[in-house]
Each structure stands twice: as C-alpha cells, then as structure tokens.
Amino acid sequence: MRVIIVEDKVAGGKEACKVFANALANGAKVLGLATGGTPETTYQELVASKLDFSKLVSVNLDEYVGLGADDPQSYNYYMKQHLFNQKPFAKSYLPNGLAENEAAEIERYNQVLAANPVDLQLLGIGENGHIGFNEPGSPLDAKTRKVALTESTIKANARYFEREEDVPRYAYSMGIGSIMQAKEILLEAFGAKKAQAVKALVEGPVDANVPATILQKHPNVTVIVDKQAAALLTKK
C-alpha cells in the first residue's frame, strides 16, 4: 500500500490524475468510478487533462435504489455532471436504481463486471470505514448486492438532499469481493473526519467491521490523503 500525503483535496486531485494517466499509459481499458464529495477535485483534473476516455469503459461502484438516471441526486446524474458530459466513454455502466426486478438487476451488474474486468478502481472511504456502500460487517467476498444504508451514512449524505428523510435507504453496490478484483485501486480521503478511518485502513488489522481494511490484502493500492486525514498515522 502506497500512501501519498498532500496539502489539500486540490493537490489530491492532481496526484490522482497522475495515477489515472499512468494507468492509461499502461493499457487500462476499464475504469471503476466513485461518487460523492471526495473525488470531485479528481474529476476536475481529469476533465482539464488531455486524457482520452472515448475508447474506454467505465463501471460505477453504486447507485441509490429508487432514483432514476435523470434524478439530480442519482449517481448517474452526478457522473454526467462531473465527468461524462465533458469526457465521454465508449460505454458507461451504472446500476439501475429503478430496476423492477432487483435480483435480475444484481445479476446484470455482476455480468457487466465479469465482462469488463476493472483495471483501476477509484474509491472514497466513509467515516465508519465503508467502501462503496459496503457498511461495517459486510461480507468480504460479496459481489454486487442491495444494501441497507446505516444511519451514519444517511446522515452523511443528507447534505445533498433537501431533507434527511429524502435520502434513499437502500442502494445497489459492488461488493467488497468485486472491488478486490480490480487490478489497481486508488483510494482518496480528505478532511479530519476521515482520520480515524484512514488510520485503520493503513495501520489497523484487517477487520470486517472496518471494510476498507481488506485493501491491505490487495497487491496494488495507492492511498491519497490530505494532512488532516493523515493526522493520526504514526508513519508519515
């Protein structure tokens, strides 16, 4: 696990862009993408870069159950606003939040991932150590599944909605087993609220109650954190 400590999230986005550029230079064909506040500066750098994604495939970590692609709070909409409209891919896959048959949608997305092995997967990390929507206690070998969001995650995501009760209670998410299949993983964390999770990720034991710690078992992980998120690390 390679840890890069930067001054702030703007610098973090620049470092992340270098990781993407290196992956493309090494022949990456499929990029795994994430949403939320953390990767925004990374997407800004990718949009401003000369990188060409027009022959690549993207697959996203997750999507809220109950939100359609045109809903401004959906992750499909987020990706269009932050990346796809400016840097289109040959094909972009996300779970369908409005799928009528949940089991069929889960199977569809697992087939998408099987047909498009991820070369580089971008991740954030929750304050409780979740990756994707894989909350504490999630099975470490799971594939795509429907997950119930914890109260802490609902509260953390409420800032994007008019009211907390508007936050969906369920999401489709790549499982930890699916995430671990990526050839390379890039995890970003910014801000003091992520410091405890980052310490567990980098220095703690592998523990299903802190899902991100499983990344210690992956052979190719880069962690980009700002000084606040790195504050509790003993080795800097």
Q: Which of 63, 119, 135, 184 is catalytic?
A: 135
141 is catalytic: no
Distance of alpha carbon 231 from alpha carbon 221, whole angstroms: 20
Distance in angstroms (rounded) separating the CA atoms of residues 5 and 231: 10
d(CA 19, CA 15): 7
Token pair in block for residue 87? 């840097």
Q: Rounded CA gap, 111 and 88, in Å? A: 22
Is 82 considered catalytic here? no
Annotated catalytic, 130?
A: yes
Report the DSSP pairing between strands 170-173 and 62-64.
antiparallel
Residue tagged active-site, from 62, 63, 188, 226: 62
User: Which H helix or E strand runs over 63?
Assistant: strand 62-64
- Chain centroid, CA 90 distance in Å: 20
Q: Is the CB of residue 2 less than 8 Å from the CB of residue 235?
A: no
Q: Would you call 128 a catalytic residue per the annotation?
A: yes
Catalytic residue among 130, 157, 184, 226: 130
Q: Which residues are catalytic?
A: 62, 128, 130, 135
